[in-house]
Chain A
Amino acid sequence: MPLDIVRISATSSPAPGVRVQPTLTKLVDTSTCIGCKACEVACQEWNDLPPEPTVQSGTYQTLPATTANFWNLIKFNEYEDEGRGALEWLMRKDQCMHCAEPGCLIACPAPGAIVQYSNGIVDFQQDHCIACGYCITGCPFDVPKFNPGTRRVYKCTLCVDRVSVGLQPACVKACPTSCLQFGTKEDMLEVANTRVGQLQANGFAQAAVYDPQGVGGTSVITVLTHGDRPELYGLPKDPHIPAAVRLWKGPLKWLGNVAMAGGLAAAVVHFVRFGRKNHVEADESSAEGRS
């Protein structure tokens, strides 16, 4: 796997990856999701995660949000379209988006704790994690979740262990309506755009593919019937790595390093030029009548 690593957290050397692979992508078509939650079960089963007690919040949603032990959550949002006089049930798959420019990885200070493979999968290596939570800060989708027991952060792996041996992710395998599909990003975009065309021809003029370019595009793309308003589904409209994180990891880092090195250099120069406060000179000052 090291040959696949194209980006690695907190490492001063170049990433070791040399393999070129097509970007792989999971397509979520919300218009054909029936809310069966087979994907949630498949995720728990394949990853063999500890059971998470469900929370009844008055809808079919299993939990209020994903957790460290529950990486794939179908979110159920009710939407009243007053123009059409229709009540819609908007289901959406909440999970790691596997950003091309991952804010978690960029924020991470632990060498090798977060890696990005050449197929686009962003993966946490919990054995290198130092439990700082910077990835939680860096993620524009609030995906990484902290497990207080192990003091490590977890999220969807896009079933990297299945994908790397040629299988599709467990959730995709389990989906009974094929609203989940998996393939190269090129292929998935083609399928998604075809579907968007069908939806637009059938009364959903605003249908669109959610593949946010603010994070360089994602390896989980979603067909939204209300593509102009992703926030109806609980998705950020135009997600970016938080500006403060970009500033901190970008210009501030250079400014800070130069300032710290400059401070040390200034001390050396000052010492060589002016040296210690001289007692002889102080004697002169007292001789000149001070005090």
Chain B
Amino acid sequence: MTSRSIVRYDFRERIVHAVAGLSYVYLLLTGLAFWTPWLFWVAIALGGGYVSRMLHPWAGLVFAAAVSAMYAQWRREMRTTPEDRAWRQAMAHYIKNEDRMVPPAGRFNYGQKTLFWVMALGAVALLLSGLVMWFVASVPEGFLVVRSLATLVHAVAALVTIGGFIVHIYMGVAVVPGGLSAIVHGEVTEEWARRHHALWYQKSGKFKGQSREVSGN
């Protein structure tokens, strides 16, 4: 079947997402190695515990920068709309893949928006607590409790983002066909846009004239 293709993510959006994603995966792997001795072998595989610990905070800065850029480019589109509230009501149907029971979504559905805010707020918590952990010896006497609080906040924030990350990867790679290809290559078919983000398709995809002919599905 022949289907027209439309641009879902432009190059800037994709590169920002890729930098955030790759830095997050590095932070996740090295962070898990420091979280439990059962996974310390991951740090060994990535160059050793010392190297992993040395690069982890720098990767954190890259991740924080990427999330900031993501915030700048997507924050307006991530606001909750009345359509989202309807979508949220029907979320159980979405989870059970009964998509005909789910109201149409805009460019991002309510689940994607939730992930965005979880990651944005998680990144703030991880950055602030991570900076304390990075310069732990510089915490002045009298504020030493800040050290252990930062460590706890870092762990909790990391766990919350890991929860979001698991759902995000699973949805994007396994559940929604074309999701991964959209964020990597930037284009989706009109069919895909209509099925998964009908309101967005109506508003922009159909009228912006970005579409071109491609074959396949």
**Residues of A bordering B, CB below 8 Å:** 10-12, 107, 109-111, 128-134, 136-138, 142, 145-146, 151, 242-245, 247-248, 252-253, 256-257, 259-260, 263-264, 267, 270-271, 274-279, 281-282, 284-286, 288, 290-291
Contact = CB atoms under 8 A, between A and B. Distances in A.
B96 to A, nearest CB: 6
Given A130-B49, A253-B36, A279-B195, A291 B148 contact: no
Interface size class of B (residues with CB under 8 A): 35 or more
A131 B133 CA distance: 11
Given A252-B156, A267-B170, A291-B198, A279 B177 contact: yes
Given A136-B147, A243-B148, A245-B151, 7 more contacts: A131-B50, A132-B34, A133-B136, A260-B163, A270-B170, A288-B100, A290-B100
B141 interface: yes
A244 B159 contact: no
B100 A130 contact: no
B95 interface: yes
Contact of B104 (A110, A137, A291): A291
Q: What is the interface of chain B mostly: helix, strand, loop, or mixed?
A: helix
B54 interface: yes
Contacts of A137: 133, 136, 147-148, 150-151
Contacts of A11: 37
B200 to A, nearest CB: 11
A151 B49 CA distance: 13
Contacts of B175: 270-271, 274-277
Interface in B95-135: 95-100, 104, 133
A245 B149 CA distance: 8
A263 B201 CA distance: 32
A242 B36 CA distance: 19
Given A130-B52, A133-B133, A281-B97, A244 B149 contact: yes
B151 A134 contact: yes
A128 B40 CA distance: 12
Interface of B: 33-38, 40, 43, 48-50, 52-54, 95-100, 104, 133, 136-137, 141, 144-145, 147-152, 155-156, 159, 162-163, 166-167, 170, 174-177, 194-196, 198, 201-202
A110 B49 contact: yes
Contacts, number: 143
A288 B99 CA distance: 12
A288 to B, nearest CB: 6
Max chain B Cβ within 10 angstroms of own Cβ: one of A10, A132, A136: A132
A130 B53 contact: yes
23 contacts: A109-B40, A130-B48, A130-B50, A131-B53, A132-B34, A134-B151, A136-B147, A145-B137, A146-B137, A151-B54, A260-B162, A263-B163, A264-B166, A274-B175, A276-B97, A277-B196, A279-B177, A281-B98, A285-B99, A285-B195, A286-B195, A291-B198, A291-B201
A290 B198 contact: yes
Contacts of A133: 133, 136-137
B34 A245 contact: no
A243 B152 CA distance: 10
Contacts of A138: 148
B49 A259 contact: no
Contacts of A107: 151
Contacts of A257: 36
B84 to A, nearest CB: 17
Max chain A Cβ within 10 angstroms of own Cβ: one of B144, B147, B177, B202: B147
B100 A136 contact: no
Contacts of B36: 253, 257
B175 to A, nearest CB: 6
